[in-house]
Amino acid sequence: MNSTVKTIIFWVFIFACLVVLWRVFQTSTGGGKDQEIAWSEFLQDAQQGQVNDVTVIGSEVRGHLHNDKGSFHVTVPANYPHLFDVLDQNKVKVTVKNADGNGWWNLLIQFSPVIVLVALWFFMIRQMQSGGNKAMSFGKSRARLLSMQQKKITFKDVAGVDEAKEELKEIIEFLREAQKFQKLGGRIPKGVLLVGPPGTGKTLLARAVAGEANVPFFSISGSDFVEMFVGVGASRVRDLFEQGKKNAPCIIFIDEIDAVGRHRGAGLGGGHDEREQTLNQLLVEMDGFESNDGVILVAATNRPDVLDPALLRPGRFDRRVVVGRPDVRGREEVLRVHAKKVPLSDDVDLRVMARGTPGFSGADLANMVNEAALNAARMNRKSVAMVDFETAKDKVLMGAERKSMLLTDEEKRVTAYHEAGHALVAAMRDHADPLHKVTIIPRGMALGVTMQLPEDDKHTVTKQYLETQLAILMGGRIAEEIFLHQMTTGAGNDIERASDLARKMVCEYGMSGMGPLTFGKKEEQIFLGREISQHRDFSEETARQIDGEVRGLVDEAYRSAYDILNNNQDIMHRLAIALLERETIDANDIRAIIDGKELPPIKPSGGSGSAVADVQQVLKPEPSRGTSFPEGSPSPA
Ligand code: ADP
Ligand code: MG
Ligand code: ZN
């Protein structure tokens, strides 16, 4: 039944109900001028010759007076013998009707309340089922057929993931000319898994495939299979493949497949839960149709590690396409794609921006361009300038500024020394990423941020690099101790991160006297999505040794950072004062202070030029500075 038919039926029904109601109303009140009169009155009227005509229905008499003086109805006393005599004598026109001559109407009227109730109930059920929750079509898949009218996304809109694009182009060719590939006995792949961190353009790529392929493209999300009732997911999978086979050759895209594809037989739910049935059905269906059926499954996930191995075996998702974070060239291309939509001023150099944003994903870059455009609009500029990009980059990197947050002078002083401590260690130690900016303007959850940016994309790091990170983390607390003779809760997060890092160096990376061994197995809780328990597979004695090694690493970092700050007290004071005056200082300013030079006069915010000094993230914003402790916190707990 299509929806127009449904609407028509609905209105016919409503109309019928109205008619019935009207009839009921009419009969009960007699309608219009028709009034009920007393029997004696009727007799009198009749005898005086005022009655023109009557209709006798059973014991009821309806009639009209002469000269249109009105109509009436009256009930005749049982077996009144002279009714017809009276009427006859006064020459009244008499019609006699069978009492149930109007049977159908009477029946309808009698049952009208029931009919109305049934109709109401019917429509209520209707209502409840709509909204994609129809009881009758529970097991139907929710796959949407992407219509070709939508704004088409093509491979041109996806930048910096050339390998992935190549692989997918091949898939599209398979669908277009299956015979060519099968001639030599090749088997068309059944499934392609797009794997990569969030925001790298997996969903975008799939939409581009839909735009490029001239075949139907069904899109569904992994969570669409998950329902409260056992078996629903499985039947949806069945239906999805049915749909696919009907439309072959076609592409079915399952986004976030980890929602259904998680490792079976693990977790809290026992062995037979809904998700497993759904997954089993998916596995069965993928084997169930031959690849030359021309249905190709494309799935995307950022958690390939939790996927069931059976999904990944050859013959199922046998092609894995890694969609990684873009490199420098890729970032420039992504910026170019998104910058096409905004007017750029002449000073904007996207290559510089690309170099200054290692580790950014496509989504980060898109977000940055958008923030820059918003910033330019806020400044009433006609086009987006480099300053706007710098501001946007800092916002994406360090969180939005919260200038309205009121800090006492004392808090500002503590924050300034704390951040100066991080910054000075970072500036003095080898193996550290270059500093980007240091700020004591609260950003996001942090009271202050020291930001480093690696010069290039980092794929692995060295032991020296990690030791330097430990020292930089220690710098904040040490500055508080040396220059303010106190400790604040602001360093809590630094310390936590340092402890985590040191423990990982010992237990996971084998970077300590314990040798190249890992200690402790993490238990992945499938349903909670992350490790909740650490499994100890070593003795008490080893545990003590590990603690000793961890402590050694942290102590060493502490000593090294202490020496740096203690030997450069002068520089520290000047850094802190500069921070208090300017709130934000950049790499050049820090260099100048360390070299004992005068800082350039305070320039209006925006920091054009300086941030171009290719920096990338050093310390992530320090969420703990001021989250939930009285001292550093915006709202004392
Ligand atoms: P995910 O990998 O998490 O599915 P999306 O495909 O949803 O990421 O990407 C989110 C947004 O980020 C896209 O809509 C797009 O604007 C932008 N984006 C991500 N990667 C790229 C890319 N390689 N090229 C162009 N834009 C991208
Ligand atoms: Mg996605
Ligand atoms: Zn800190």
Domain containing residue 485: CATH number: 1.20.58.760
**Cβ of 202 below 6 Å from ligand 1:** yes
Distance from Cα 204 to the centre of ligand 2, integer Å: 7
- Report which ligand 1 atom has the smallest distance to the Cα of 197: 2
334 lines ligand 1 (CB under 6 A): yes
Residue carrying the six token digits 């090294």: 560
Mark whether 235 and 380 lie in a shared domain: no
Query: Which residues neighbour ligand 2 (ion) by CB within 5 Å?
Result: 203
Pocket test for ligand 1, best of 204, 357, 368 (most atoms within 8 A of CB): 204
Is residue 631 one of the residues assigned to a domain?
no
How many C-beta atoms lie closer than 10 Å to residue 587's C-beta? Answer: 22
Same domain, 26 and 171: no
pTM higher than 0.75, yes or no? no
Query: Quick one: 318 and 332 in the same domain?
Result: no
Residue 77 lies in a domain: yes
pLDDT class of 553 with cuts at 50, 70, 90: very high
Output the domain CATH number for residue 191: 3.40.50.300
The answer on 148 and 34 residing in a single domain is no
Q: Which residues are catalytic?
A: 419
pLDDT at 288: 67
pLDDT at site 598: 82
Tell whether 629 is covered by a domain. no
Q: What is the pLDDT of residue 636?
A: 33
Ligand 1: does its nearest atom lie under 6 Å from the Cβ of 348? no
Residue 272 pLDDT: 54
Tell me, using a 6 A CB cutoff, whether residue 203 lines ligand 1.
yes
- Range ranked top by mean pLDDT from 37-46, 58-67, 486-495: 486-495
> Ligand 1: distance of its center to the CA of 128 in Å?
37
Angle, vertex CA 247, rays to CA 241 and CA 248, nearest 5 = 85
Residue where one domain finishes, among candidates 322, 342, 373: 322
Is residue 82 domain-shared with residue 202, that is, in the same domain?
no
User: What pLDDT sits at residue 628?
Assistant: 28
150 lies in some domain: yes
pLDDT tens sequence across 573-621: 999 999 999 988 988 899 999 998 887 776 544 332 222 222 223 343 4
User: Is the domain of 381 the same as that of 499?
Assistant: no
For a mutational test of ligand 1's pocket, the pick from 200, 322, 361, i.e. the residue with the most ligand atoms closer than 8 A to its C-beta, is: 200
Mean pLDDT in residue range 358-379:
92
The secondary structure element, H or E, covering residue 348 is none
Q: What's the half-sphere exposure (Cβ side, CA atoms, 13 Å) at 528?
A: 9
Residue 135 lies in a domain: no
Q: Do 268 and 207 share a structural domain? A: yes
Does the C-beta of 301 come closer than 6 Å to ligand 1? Answer: no
169-178 residue pLDDT tens: 888 888 888 7
**Residue type at 636?**
P
Average the pLDDT over each of 202-211, 218-227, 315-324, 555-564 and give the range with the smallest value. Answer: 218-227
Cβ–ligand 1 distance for 366 under 6 Å, the answer yes
Atom of ligand 1 minimally distant from the CA of 363: 12
**Comparing C-alpha atoms, which of 360, 328, 400, 333 is closest to residue 198?**
360
Mean pLDDT of the chain: 80
| Helix%, strand%, coil% for the chain, nearest 5 | 50, 15, 35
pLDDT above 90 (res 371): yes
Q: How far is the CA of 630 from the centre of ligand 3 (A)?
A: 16
- 382 shares its domain with 510: no
pLDDT of residue 63 exceeding 50, the answer is: yes
The ligand whose atoms approach the alpha carbon of 621 most closely is: 3
43-59 mean pLDDT:
81
Ligand 3 ion local residues (Cβ < 5 A): 476, 494, 622
E-state strands within 8-59: 35-36, 51-57
Going by the DSSP 8-state scheme, the letter that residue 291 receives in this structure is G
Q: Determine whether the shortest distance from the Cβ of 330 to ligand 1 is under 6 A.
A: no
Question: Residue 379 sits in a domain of what CATH number?
Answer: 1.10.8.60
Same domain membership, residue 11 and residue 36 = yes
Instruction: Judge if 258 and 360 occupy the same domain.
Output: no
CATH number, residue 43: 3.30.720.210
- Residue 338 CA to ligand 2 center (angstroms) comes to 18
Q: 110: which DSSP letter?
A: H
- Residue 296 domain flag: yes
Residue 381 and residue 267 share a domain: no
Q: What total number of domains does the chain contain?
A: 4
631 has a pLDDT exceeding 50: no
- Among 366, 397, 428, the domain-final residue is 397
Whether residue 136 lies inside any domain: the answer is no
- Same domain as 545, residue 489: yes
Domain boundary among 288, 322, 356: 322
- State percent of the chain over pLDDT 90: 25
Is the model more confident about 66 or about 226?
Answer: 66
Q: Ligand nearest 367 Cα, by number? A: 1
**C-alpha to C-alpha distance for 279 and 300, rounded to whole angstroms:** 15
For residue 434, give its domain range. Answer: 409-618
Q: What is each CA distance from 187 to 171, 278, 290, 294, in whole angstroms?
A: 12, 26, 9, 11
Distance 204 CA to ligand 1 centre (A): 5
Comparing 378 with 264, the larger pLDDT belongs to 378
Q: Is residue 250 part of a domain?
A: yes
Q: Among the atoms of ligand 1, which is closest to the Cα of residue 255?
A: 4
User: Integer distance in angstroms from the first to the last C-alpha of the chain?
Assistant: 59
Q: 616 alpha carbon to ligand 1 midpoint, in Å? A: 21
